[in-house]
Amino acid sequence: MPAGIDRLFANLSQTIIGKEDAIELVLVALIGGGHALLEDVPGVGKTLLAKSLARSIDGKFQRIQCTPDLLPSDITGSNIWMPNSGEFDFLPGPVFTNVLLADEVNRATPRTQSALLEVMEEQQVTLDGKSRPVPHPFFTIATQNPVEYQGTFPLPEAQMDRFMLSLSLGYPSAEEELRMLQGLQSKIAVEELQPCLSLEELQSLQQQCRQIRVEDSLQRYLLELVRQSREDDEVTLGVSPRGAVALHRAVQALALIKNRDFVIPDDIKRLAPHVMAHRIIPAAGQPAKAIVERLLSAVPIAMATT
């Protein structure tokens, strides 16, 4: 992988043990210019991953603990009256950061969810007719607990579509968990992590990602997967055109991480379940990822020339 990505991967591996696949997927979303949705149980390292990423890129980190009483202004910021100046001053909210962790986003009300997802899409906050851009790069990691549904507000399909990909860290293996316990005294703390990639270098990688070559035959293969998701009898809602764009950018990012300047079919097969599944509504209760895997088996792989 390119030197900058290699340093970033190694830095994150100092605090996140045994989750190379999850780290790779988060880096795909980051370098691809998207956002990541982590659907996982508490205590598996979601906050640690977000903090480690922010420190590794020398960026600012903010965390929002989503609750039903959280207001949109608690996320975006608000205008505060200043008696001394006789004017309103803007007090920025936590979205004015480089890496944002929105923990248990499905516990916030739909109105508050919309405020967050609008910033993710528009990269700016509009208040009282004035638009304020958030820092660039701006990367959101939102989490959902897939077990507890009491007192939650599930994200609507149109808002799930704003996330480039979804993933799960999962519980560590027995060996990985033993390594965690054995390394409690010697393991580096997230506060001790040193930046290994500047924000300027990250933006350069994001620009390089857009230049990765995707052959016409692979674009047709990607689009056929998307179109089949819309026509499948076991699917109520298929992948949107935004989802097709997200998959295209994601496979470009994965190719760059793998130190290639071109995409191969395996890149699409690797990322399709993570990019497409959370955008699909099954008709008969079948898991969305199983539907995507079936589509990958049914749609012929196009052989691109490189």
Tell me the C-alpha distance between 219 and 216, whole Å. 5
Please provide residue 38's backbone torsions phi and psi, each rounded to the nearest 5 degrees: -105, 115
pLDDT-derived band at 4, boundaries 50, 70, 90:
confident
Determine the pLDDT at residue 302.
Answer: 61
The predicted model gives 35-47 an average pLDDT of 82
Residue 15 is which amino acid? T
Q: CATH classification of 212-298 is 1.10.8.80, yes or no?
A: yes
What lies within 8 Å, CB to CB, of 200 at 6+ separation is none
Q: Which two tokens stand for residue 287?
A: 């898991």
What lies within 8 Å, CB to CB, of 30 at 6+ separation is 36, 53, 137, 139, 202
Residue 73 is which amino acid? S
Question: Taking all residues of the chain, what is their mean pLDDT, rounded to a whole number?
Answer: 87
Flag whether pLDDT at 288 surpasses 80: yes
Flag whether pLDDT at 213 surpasses 60: yes
Residue whose C-alpha is closest to residue 277's, from 285, 267, 269, 289: 289
Domains 8-204 and 212-298 share a fold: no
H or E element in which residue 96 lies: none
Flag whether pLDDT at 188 surpasses 80: no
Residue 240, Cβ neighbours under 10 Å: how many?
16
Domain ranges of the chain: 8-204, 212-298
Report whether 217 contacts 299 (CB < 8 A). no
Q: pTM score, two decimals?
A: 0.90
Flag whether pLDDT at 160 surpasses 80: yes
pLDDT-derived band at 33, boundaries 50, 70, 90:
very high
Tell me the C-alpha distance between 56 and 98, whole Å. 12
Q: For strand 281-282 and strand 235-237, is the pairing parallel, antiparallel, or unpaired?
A: antiparallel
**Coil, strand, or helix at residue 225?**
helix
Tally of CA atoms within 13 A in the half-sphere of 205 that contains its CB = 31
pLDDT-derived band at 148, boundaries 50, 70, 90:
low
Q: Which two tokens stand for residue 78?
A: 């608000």
Q: Specify the DSSP class assigned to residue 68.
A: T
H or E element in which residue 90 lies: strand 87-92
| CATH fold group of domain 8-204 | Rossmann fold (3.40.50)
Worst-scoring range by mean pLDDT, 134-143, 191-200, 215-224? 191-200
The angle formed by the CA atoms of residues 93, 98 and 101, to the nearest 5 degrees, is 70
